Structure 1
Amino acid sequence: METSAEPDKLRSRFLDAGMTVLARDGYSGFKQAAVCAEAGVTTGAFYHSFRNWKAFESELIGHWRVEATDRLVESARNVADPHERIRALISIALGLPHATERAIRTWAANDPEVHAALADVENARRSAIAEMGVELFGEATADRLASTAMLLLTGFENSTQPSLDDFKWAMDTFTAAALTMTGADQTSE
């Protein structure tokens, strides 16, 4: 007898497989056969879980937003110390599924719905960064710094030769300069 948790587990397997295929094969390799093979199940199981490929794509983009933005932003909001919160945001930025996001950016260039979802995610991230920086930088500066942080992220994800070490250095250097510039730097004891 099938429990209500089993279809959800199978759907989750497909969504995780979709993220993996996007990361590994890019948008050009994002095909139903590849997703089914990655999930280790048949196309019949796919159609048992999703009405069609478009429904899967929509759910996958929603899944990506929850996992790579909403859940992470909420965890950063729970960090009480504003300096630690900024460090948490940098850690989140470094840990994003960059290869998947690179593929989603390519996909967004060809699909207006994905483009709108990507714009919503970028706006949600920028707004969250600004909101979490207000305590240290004030509203206007936090907003500008959030926009700059997003430019660093999107530049990294669009780079033909992305280096996580270079991205980390850029984020750390940018943050240190912002903290020093605004007098919000925290000296070590």
Structure 2
Amino acid sequence: MDSDAEPDKLRGRFLHAGMTVLARDGYSGFKQASVCTEAGVTTGAFYHSFRNWKAFETELIAHWRVEATDRLVDAARSVTDPRDRIDALTTIALNLPHGTERAIRSWAAVDSSVHDALTEVENARRAAIADMGVELFGTELSQRLAATAMMLLTGFENAANPSIDDFEWAIRTVTDTALAFVDARQE
């Protein structure tokens, strides 16, 4: 195996473990020992991969943004049919790592750099949703629907007892209503 790939593979294990620990234990349980245990390696391996805990946190947040926003938005943009694209966005919203995101939202309340990253992610998501909806809904309605979708997502992720079924019902009802409005306007 390529020796240059080994450090990257180990870093990836730590990042995956960090996302898992956040989802499972919340921000209050997000500790180096838990991440190392989840990754199945020692703290020595951790320090071989990351300069310190803060460097790991910074890289983890960047990893989350790429995996839970940038990569997914790129995939949705590749869908050519505008209705299929809206359906792809809905599927993405339903399959985000909600436990991890819930923990990141808690973390953002006490860490300004995480808050800034969360704000950037929310803005990027809202802009992407609006941009991908313009063809069907026009600029103004697309921007309003994107804001509504983000409020539904953040409300779901901040709820004390979130229900994925309720979230799915809400997001699909908003989408179906907007599409019915567009269809009626075109008749």
The TM-score by the shorter chain falls in which range?
Answer: over 0.9
CA contact (8 A) 1:26 1:100 kept: yes
> Which residue number corresponds to residue 35 of structure 1?
35
Instruction: Spell out, residue by residue over 1:6-60, the C-alpha distance to the aligned partner (whole angstroms, 9 max, x if none).
Output: 0000000000000000000000000000000000000000000000000000000
> How many Å apart are 1:145 and its aligned residue?
0.7
The runs of 5 or more residues in structure 2 that have no matched partner are none
The runs of 5 or more residues in structure 1 that have no matched partner are none
> Which residue number corresponds to residue 55 of structure 1?
55
Change (3 A) 1:185 1:84: farther
Q: Does 1:73 align with 2:73?
A: yes
C-alpha distance in 2, partners of 1:150/1:32? 31
> How many Å apart are 1:162 and its aligned residue?
0.6
| Secondary structure of 1:181's aligned partner | helix
> Which residue number corresponds to residue 136 of structure 2?
136
Instruction: Spell out, residue by residue over 1:88-110, the C-alpha distance to the aligned partner (whole angstroms, 9 max, x if none).
Output: 00000000000000000000000
Question: 2:151 is aligned with what amino acid?
Answer: L
Question: 1:55 is aligned with what amino acid?
Answer: A
Tell me how large the CA RMSD over aligned residues is: 1.4
CA contact (8 A) 1:33 1:43 kept: yes
> How many Å apart are 1:81 and its aligned residue?
0.3
> Which residue number corresponds to residue 154 of structure 1?
154
Divergent runs of 4+, >2 A: 181-186
Q: Does 1:174 align with 2:169?
A: no
Question: 1:105 is aligned with what amino acid?
Answer: R
> Which residue number corresponds to residue 84 of structure 1?
84
| Secondary structure of 1:183's aligned partner | helix
C-alpha distance in 2, partners of 1:78/1:150? 21
Question: 1:182 is aligned with what amino acid?
Answer: V
Instruction: Spell out, residue by residue over 1:112-147, the C-alpha distance to the aligned partner (whole angstroms, 9 max, x if none).
Output: 000000000000000000000000000111011100
> Which residue number corresponds to residue 45 of structure 1?
45
C-alpha distance in 1, partners of 2:59/2:185? 42
Change (3 A) 1:171 1:185: farther
> How many Å apart are 1:184 and its aligned residue?
7.0
> Which residue number corresponds to residue 97 of structure 1?
97
Using the size of structure 2 for normalisation, the TM-score is: 0.97
Change (3 A) 1:128 1:185: farther
Question: 1:33 is aligned with what amino acid?
Answer: A
> How many Å apart are 1:185 and its aligned residue?
8.9
> Which residue number corresponds to residue 12 of structure 2?
12
